[in-house]
């Protein structure tokens, strides 16, 4: 089996030459007569340039086929092979990676499993973020959760910046919020997921995840790119961690934003996350408040869904975005809002209600023009944030 990778080179770079450098230098390397008796075995580890073209803007694309036997069925060894040392060699960007279906890990739950746990099968899921991000006590978190959970929220997550800090230690946040989750379940029959941010040094993080799950965590949040794909894989394949893992894209811009260097967002947040074991992946929506290429967003969506992973467009999502988001995503999407819920002019609960009113209005084919909206949480949201 082989792994195909597309590299894009800017004008002025000899793409054919550089592709050959990658094919050799990122695999077996060169050898002399001393290793002639190993010729056949060494050649079996060499990559091969299998395609190339130049676009009208002068950018060149080279496709290299790598032997799967060179890697360890994980994302870390894959990245080392396809772009490790060469990433420091000059202008080049990995724009696509095509992996065998069996490569890496599948999500534990993914789209179908998360829906089963929430008992929600026929609509997008609504997710919120605790705000402010830092400075709240565990009791503050619980009070916020109580308000939005009773308003119908499906999922809430820690902000990715929130670690195991003295102001609200992770176990205390979980304990306080778990009481609310249990109360909501008893009172309404509904399950609410709380994605707790799992952090720590390499020797303690997995142990901490075990502890959180034992203490009742029903979802985890992981900053995959700062802690590493190997951590994601360890969580995803650990039988003791029987809860969904929500992957955050923190640091992705440092890897992906340059047009001529690094790795495309669709590879990092789509292909690699989908094969790394995430159950749901957060990433910017192009109609949010971060600059993002709509074509890259669609590629991420499709890569994730191909392996039953929930797409979670984020960063600037508010009720006025719902028509556009549903047009782009249909039902299998998690709409993730921080300020779009927590900063609703009436209350966070009203922010949740505005999203559900927006979902119903799209379902009924009704207009979002302000003059057509009745007095409601949705109207107040549209007055503040508008419609995309």
Residue with tokens 């946040």, as numbered in its chain: 173
Judge whether 114 and 310 are in contact, CB under 8 Å.
Answer: yes
What would the DSSP string read from start to end of 254-286? HHH--SSEEE-HIIIIIIIHHHHT-SEEEEE-T
H/E element, 236: helix 229-237
Distance CA 225, CA 355 (A): 30
Longest dimension (CA), the chain: 82
Q: Is 85 an annotated catalytic residue?
A: yes
Task: Give the E-state strand segments of the chain in sequence order.
Answer: 2-9, 48-54, 60-67, 92-98, 125-129, 155-157, 193-197, 219-223, 245-248, 261-263, 280-284, 310-314, 334-337
Distance CA 357, CA 336 (A): 16
Judge whether 272 and 300 are in contact, CB under 8 Å.
Answer: no
Distance CA 336, CA 217 (A): 19
Q: Which two tokens stand for residue 63?
A: 């496709």
Q: Which two tokens stand for residue 158?
A: 């820690």
Active-site annotation holder among 41, 85, 185, 240: 85
Q: Which two tokens stand for residue 297?
A: 């967003």
Which residues are known to be catalytic?
A: 85
């Amino acid at each position: 089996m082989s792994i195909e990778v597309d590299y894009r080179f800017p004008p002025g770079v000899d793409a054919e030459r550089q592709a050959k450098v990658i094919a050799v230098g990122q695999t077996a390397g060169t050898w002399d007569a001393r290793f002639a008796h190993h010729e056949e075995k060494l050649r079996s580890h060499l990559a091969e340039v299998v395609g190339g073209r130049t676009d009208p803007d002068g950018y060149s694309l080279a496709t290299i086929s790598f032997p799967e036997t060179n890697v360890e069925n994980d994302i870390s060894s894959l990245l080392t092979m396809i772009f490790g040392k060469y990433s420091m060699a000059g202008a080049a960007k990995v724009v696509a990676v095509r992996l065998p279906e069996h490569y890496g890990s599948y999500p534990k739950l993914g789209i179908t499993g998360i829906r089963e746990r929430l008992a929600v099968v026929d609509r997008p899921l609504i997710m919120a973020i605790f705000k402010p991000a830092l400075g709240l006590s565990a009791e503050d978190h619980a009070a916020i959760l109580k308000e939005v959970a009773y308003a119908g929220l499906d999922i809430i997550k820690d902000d990715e910046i929130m670690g195991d800090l003295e102001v609200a230690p992770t176990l205390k946040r979980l304990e306080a919020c778990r009481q609310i989750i249990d109360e909501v379940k008893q009172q309404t029959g509904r399950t609410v997921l709380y994605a707790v941010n799992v952090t720590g040094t390499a020797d303690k993080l997995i142990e901490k995840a075990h502890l959180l799950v034992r203490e009742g965590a029903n979802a985890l949040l992981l900053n995959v790119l700062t802690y590493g794909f190997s951590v994601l894989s360890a969580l995803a394949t650990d039988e003791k961690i029987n809860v969904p893992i929500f992957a955050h894209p923190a640091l992705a811009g440092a890897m992906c934003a340059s047009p001529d260097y690094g790795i495309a967002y669709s590879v990092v947040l789509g292909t690699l996350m989908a094969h790394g074991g995430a159950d749901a992946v957060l990433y910017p929506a192009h109609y949010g408040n971060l600059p993002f290429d709509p074509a890259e967003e669609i590629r991420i969506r499709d890569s994730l869904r191909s392996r039953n992973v929930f797409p979670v467009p984020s960063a600037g999502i508010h009720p006025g975005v719902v028509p556009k988001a549903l047009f782009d995503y249909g039902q299998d999407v998690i709409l993730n809002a921080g300020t779009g819920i927590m900063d609703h002019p009436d209350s966070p609960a009203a922010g949740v209600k505005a999203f559900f009113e927006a979902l119903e209005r799209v379902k009924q084919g009704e207009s979002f023009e302000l003059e057509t909206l009745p007095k409601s949480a949705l109207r107040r949201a549209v007055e503040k944030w508008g419609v995309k």
